[in-house]
Amino acid sequence: MSTPAPTLLELQRAVHRSLCAHDDATAAACIVNDGIDPAARLGIYRNTFASALTNALRLSYPAVKRLVGVECFEGVAHLFIEAEPPRSANLDDYGAGFAEFLTRFEAVAVLAYLPDVARLEWTVNRALHAPDVASLDLGRLYTLKEEEQARVCFTPHPSAGLLRLDHPADAIWRAVLARDDAALAAIDPATGPVRLLVHRAEEGIEVSRLDEAAWCFTEALFAGRPLHFVLEDALCADPQLLLAEHLAAERLVAFEFADG
């Protein structure tokens, strides 16, 4: 009795094992040998797969690549791909765990700031690819009653992100991408922590430092806490001014009302 043909799902899983685990046995058995060995065919797919993912990591982490060098970066990328294959067909989504992977990679442990640079680059990458959304109609806010204003909970722009990092990753990132060796040499990697706001503006990606009070206020605002409590708990000198700045920069794109 002949062996039944595998289902599409079984075949997809077999190819996945070939690409990610170098297990060609099942997939090779489904390939007709017409002059090219089935294992060689799968090797072509595997090389293309690895090349595409490595390029995705290069695009998302250009400063990390320059800090460690091309050879080291591609070696780390290869190990990362083996450890964390993609779970989405969109290559823009690939690489979210790269910073945490770097914290466990002994070959770059001497660069203690490297994972923080990677965290910043991933946040920049997410901001770059975040969807466009309509601006908040500020006129709606002006018409709210005082009781309604207290219950407002804001929604941040999809590109907006906050980071608290142990090292001055923003300064390192800028110096590396600008190829400014003098600026890079002047940075003390031990200075920190830094608190960063990342946002996509009309002019491009903005990375700004905030002091602790402004960062905590912004974190609470972006988390959707009712405005009354955000303002009441604020430690910054002029929270109303900071709120106005976020609104003017279109970092807040919608609002709803908290219960009660």
Report whether 57 contacts 95 (CB < 8 A).
Answer: yes
Residue 252 burial (C-beta neighbours within 10 Å; 0-12, 13-18, 19+): buried
Q: What is the distance between the alpha carbons of residues 175 and 191, in angstroms, rounded to a whole number? A: 16
Q: What HEC string does the chain produce? A: CCCCCCCHHHHHHHHHHHHHHCCCHHHHHCCCCCCCCHHHHHHHHHHHHHHHHHHHHHHHCHHHHHHHCHHHHHHHHHHHHHHCCCCCCCHHHCCCCHHHHHHCCHHHCCCCCHHHHHHHHHHHHHHHHCCCCCCCCHHHHHCCCHHHHHCEEEEECCCCEEEEECCCHHHHHHHHHCCCHHHHHCCCCCCCCEEEEEEEECCEEEEEECCHHHHHHHHHHHCCCCHHHHHHHCCCCCHHHHHHHHHHCCCEEEEEECCC
Q: What is the pTM of this model?
A: 0.88
Res 197: pLDDT? 98
The rounded mean pLDDT for the chain is 89
pLDDT at 194 over 70: yes
Is the alpha carbon torsion for 125, 131, 137, 141 positive or negative?
negative
pLDDT in tens, 72-124: 999 999 999 989 988 888 999 999 999 999 999 888 889 999 999 999 999 99
Report whether 213 contacts 234 (CB < 8 A).
Answer: yes
Tokens of 251: 């970092």
Instruction: Name, in order, each residue with C-beta under 8 angstroms of 239's C-beta and a sequence gap of 6 or more.
Output: 217, 230, 231
pLDDT in tens, 216-257: 999 999 999 999 999 999 999 899 999 999 999 999 999 999
Instruction: Name, in order, each residue with C-beta under 8 angstroms of 122's C-beta and a sequence gap of 6 or more.
Output: 60, 61, 95, 96, 98, 99
pLDDT at 1 over 60: no
Res 88: pLDDT? 86
pLDDT at 50 over 70: yes
Domains of the chain: 134-260 (3.90.930)
pLDDT in tens, 120-151: 999 999 999 999 999 999 999 889 998 898 89
Tokens of 109: 């442990």
